[in-house]
Structure 1
Amino acid sequence: MPNAPQDQIAPLLTPEGWDLLASLGPYREDASFELNSALRKAGHSPELVSAVLTQSRLRTRAEAKFGEFASQMLFTQAGLEQATRLNVAARHAQRFAEAGVSHVADLGCGLGADSLALASLDLTVTAVEQDETTAACATVNLIPFPNATVVHADATAVPLDGIDGVWLDPARRVTSTSGTTRIWDPEAFSPPLSFVESLAESGMAVGVKMGPGMPHESVPQGCEAQWVSVNGDVTEVALWFNAVRRADVRRSALVLGPNGAAELASAADFGAGPAAPVGPVAGYLYEPDGAVIRAGLVADVAQELGGHLVDEHIAYICAPALADTPFARAYKVLDVMPYNVKALKAWVKQEGITVLDIKKRGTAVTPEELRKQLLPGGRNAGKKGAGKTATLVLTRIGEDRVAIVVEPVATGT
């Protein structure tokens, strides 16, 4: 049975534990067994060695979200899975700062990522966390900021006197001995969405992070919904109320990538806005970013590109010309074929294809299974500089299933 989270944190909150953790280099899975043995031979207890190695592994994983800050922070497995990336947390904090908010309660602060970002903008932060172990981690993580205070309490029961802004990141996972499980019902979150709405009704500046799969019908009226993607991965939808809501935005897609940030926004409610025409597969195929799709802004992108949808229910766009856009990935259309496994297998053989990238939308085909059927040996076998690489896009147009041969196009965004 895995150790409970508190068993993995408590040994670190001692001079011996903290010094030992600080002495380790970057975590390497292939060297963990030998390191475990060496630390035990050096006289450290099995409990401390386990806690230190677990934390070292989590710190290494956390670098993707926290960069260089990860090496000085404490993490739990569940907390890291839900923690906001630091570059996204900085944008949350900026909202409150630009709205003139001075004291923010971070209700359900988790490991303290958003509190860290808020405190770094000199805002006063009251970080509230119900789980004792997670609260201990947040306390350590926020030590550099005297303007941040961690409170171990139920987020729904903390007095908000003197506080003019609230940020919430409700717990959307439950932890058991077998790991963590995602919760889908917003009323089962901790705290629930109804609690968030009650805070907003008081007129306070309120922001809340929700899972990116939140259906449009669940988004409350009177708020702005912003879907965020980081390097193509849709990480959240943030709901903004009152002073931190932009009056002219109902929904938006914020795309963060290696070349910076780009946002597409609409004042129209869900289901409104422009309608894109439908046309043939030709010219260039565009695959919209996931945040664009979640925000219901595919037609807006099609309009910007001077293009059309290939099917009114499928988020693929075609346009006659190549355009540089941060909101979609571009491919040059080379061929369009009916979806037929036997014909596709013959095509793969005829073209000498050894590496096949398969994308799909609007069809139940599993790319991994189809690749096994099409390629000799059932898997990508090409080496760099050898064989031939191809990209297939599987989708449907009306009632017809099609396979589109495309070539990825490098763009500047």
Structure 2
Amino acid sequence: MERAELVLLLTPTGLALLDEVSAQGEATDLVATVSALRKAGHDPQLVSAALTQSRLRRHARPKFGGFADRMLFTQAGLEQATRLKVAALHAGRFARAGLTRVADLGCGIGGDAMALAALDLQVTAVDADEVTATMAAYNLAPFHTATARHARAEDVDLSEFDAVYFDPARRTAGHQNTARLTRPEDYTPSLDFVFDTASRMPTGVKLGPGIDRDIIPDAAEAQWVSVDGSVVELGLWFGGLARDGIRRSALVLGREGSHELSAASDAEDEPVRELGQYLYEPDGAVIRARLIGDLARQIGAAPLSDGIAYLSGDELTATPFATAFRVIERMPLDEKALRRWVKQNEIGTLEIKKRGVDLDPAAFRKRLNPRGASSATLVLTRVDGRHTALVVERAGGASDD
């Protein structure tokens, strides 16, 4: 969204039109909708802005729930925004630490600032982009303890705050069609500035989960967060926001609630053992946090092969930190043999998982030519160093044993 569009939208007429098109839901005939709104006398630029915001609100509901229906977004801001359930956990850290005056630097559209303000913390949301900062101000308007500023993070006087939260920009400049930045040195503000601030006052930092672990400062508590099976962020916590004795943690959020695996350091792996009756696929947050060894000891399992993030055991142990599969059959990873197996078993729906083998699952599935009424799951991996195909089925819990 450009500045001129936002100016049009933030008027009584613009906001009324946004409410009108949002209430209509997704237009089945967009051309007819645009024509009708323009025929009614609405500015074409305003119509475009209102329809874009209505679409972004629908897309924002998985992250923000009902709050999305009164918020404003940019495409880039929505993509980088923290999910509300995760932002609430961030805010809880500040509240438990007794930190009440927080600067949210790189606030984006204001998701984390909303969660902080919901706990009655005094939060100042700051963004270097004028349009984004204006949207944050709009989104924070219902919260009396929140304000928004248009400024660079580096220019904010931190003496009026007792804690800082950073969400450095990790995408190229703009409001839509932005690209993810792959080099941390290109982030805004820079990680040098972020970590220097963290050395002087309680600080939280949101980063992408795949960032190079070597850049994580020794003083930080590093927490990888997954939501419904997808790893969404790495949170670094410093000073009073970091927990004693914890430097690595995996936080798993799903339909069954919140579960955490934590440790003082990376976990030592268990020795490789023979393939058992059950295969465990650890949650991505556990893998990123390098706590697979601790998980293995919890569930009485062991790695299939050195350097492979699959575990195996003879007992089915329910855990929120991994998906369990029952091993049905073990075969060599041979394409011709697997194609025959697929044909003989009339497999039409074929799920392929892989670790430790160099192939494209989608292309490999196509070559296996699945046709039929049955379904199956194949795990392509290494077992004790040998390339192997495992036929598995999901195991619902210990009661299935």
TM over 0.5: yes
What's the CA shift for 1:5?
Answer: 3.5
What's the CA shift for 1:262?
Answer: 0.1
What's the CA shift for 1:399?
Answer: 4.6
- The equivalent of 2:130 in structure 1 is 132
| Alignment pair present for 1:406 and 2:400 | no
What's the CA shift for 1:291?
Answer: 0.3
CA 1:302–1:121 in structure 2 vs 1: closer, same or farther (change >3 Å)? same
For 1:345, the aligned partner's letter is R
Question: Once superposed, what is the RMSD of the aligned Cα atoms?
Answer: 1.6
What number of residue pairs does the alignment pair up? 397
- The equivalent of 1:260 in structure 2 is 257
Give the whole-Å Cα distance in 2 for the aligned partners of 1:59 and 1:209: 23
Structure 1 counterpart SS, 2:148: strand
- More divergent stretch after superposition (35-44 vs 159-168): 35-44
Structure 1 counterpart SS, 2:29: helix
Give the whole-Å Cα distance in 2 for the aligned partners of 1:217 and 1:281: 33
What's the CA shift for 1:115?
Answer: 0.4
Match of 2:100 among 99, 102, 110: 102
Cα contact 2:296–2:311 (8 A) shared by 1? yes
Match of 2:225 among 214, 225, 228: 228
CA 1:177–1:116 in structure 2 vs 1: closer, same or farther (change >3 Å)? closer
- The equivalent of 1:187 in structure 2 is 185
| Alignment pair present for 1:344 and 2:341 | no
TM-score scaled to structure 1, two decimals? 0.93
- The equivalent of 1:6 in structure 2 is 3
| Alignment pair present for 1:174 and 2:153 | no
1:241-282: per-residue Cα shift (whole Å, max 9, x none)?
0000001101100000011000000012x4xx3321102222
Give the whole-Å Cα distance in 1 for the aligned partners of 2:43 and 2:302: 64
Cα contact 2:268–2:293 (8 A) shared by 1? yes
Match of 1:247 among 218, 223, 244: 244
Structure 2 counterpart SS, 1:125: strand
For 2:311, the aligned partner's letter is I
Give the whole-Å Cα distance in 2 for the aligned partners of 1:274 and 1:300: 7
Cα contact 1:356–1:371 (8 A) shared by 2? yes
Map of 1:173-322 to 2, 5 A cutoff?
A: 173-175=171-173, 179-202=177-200, 204-268=201-265, 270=266, 273-322=267-316
Give the whole-Å Cα distance in 2 for the aligned partners of 1:245 and 1:355: 46
Give the whole-Å Cα distance in 2 for the aligned partners of 1:280 and 1:392: 19
Map of 1:147-166 to 2, 5 A cutoff?
A: 147-166=145-164
Give the whole-Å Cα distance in 1 for the aligned partners of 2:332 and 2:35: 59
What's the CA shift for 1:162?
Answer: 2.5
- The equivalent of 1:372 in structure 2 is 366
For 1:217, the aligned partner's letter is D
Give the whole-Å Cα distance in 2 for the aligned partners of 1:23 and 1:320: 59
What's the CA shift for 1:9?
Answer: 2.6
What's the CA shift for 1:11?
Answer: 2.2
Structure 2 counterpart SS, 1:191: coil
Match of 1:47 among 45, 48, 54: 45
For 1:184, the aligned partner's letter is T
Give the whole-Å Cα distance in 1 for the aligned partners of 2:324 and 2:5: 46
Give the whole-Å Cα distance in 2 for the aligned partners of 1:176 and 1:149: 23
What's the CA shift for 1:175?
Answer: 3.5
Match of 2:57 among 59, 75, 85: 59
Cα contact 1:207–1:239 (8 A) shared by 2? yes
1:167-220: per-residue Cα shift (whole Å, max 9, x none)?
010000014598111112222111111111111221x11000010001221111
Give the whole-Å Cα distance in 2 for the aligned partners of 1:64 and 1:7: 29
Structure 2 counterpart SS, 1:180: coil
CA 1:276–1:105 in structure 2 vs 1: closer, same or farther (change >3 Å)? same
1:110-169: per-residue Cα shift (whole Å, max 9, x none)?
100000000000000111111000001001000001211101101111101221010010
Cα contact 1:345–1:375 (8 A) shared by 2? yes
For 2:93, the aligned partner's letter is R
Structure 1 counterpart SS, 2:178: strand
Gaps of 5+ in 1: none
Give the whole-Å Cα distance in 2 for the aligned partners of 1:241 and 1:177: 31
Gaps of 5+ in 2: none
Structure 2 counterpart SS, 1:227: strand
What's the CA shift for 1:27?
Answer: 3.8
For 1:160, the aligned partner's letter is L
TM-score scaled to structure 2, two decimals? 0.96
Give the whole-Å Cα distance in 2 for the aligned partners of 1:350 and 1:234: 37
Give the whole-Å Cα distance in 2 for the aligned partners of 1:330 and 1:105: 42
- The equivalent of 2:88 in structure 1 is 90
Cα contact 1:8–1:54 (8 A) shared by 2? no
- The equivalent of 2:29 in structure 1 is 31
What's the CA shift for 1:302?
Answer: 0.8
Give the whole-Å Cα distance in 2 for the aligned partners of 1:60 and 1:36: 18
Give the whole-Å Cα distance in 1 for the aligned partners of 2:181 and 2:7: 28
| Alignment pair present for 1:356 and 2:350 | yes
What's the CA shift for 1:318?
Answer: 0.2
For 1:134, the aligned partner's letter is T
Structure 1 counterpart SS, 2:64: helix
CA 1:20–1:158 in structure 2 vs 1: closer, same or farther (change >3 Å)? same
- The equivalent of 1:332 in structure 2 is 326
- The equivalent of 2:72 in structure 1 is 74
CA 1:411–1:132 in structure 2 vs 1: closer, same or farther (change >3 Å)? farther
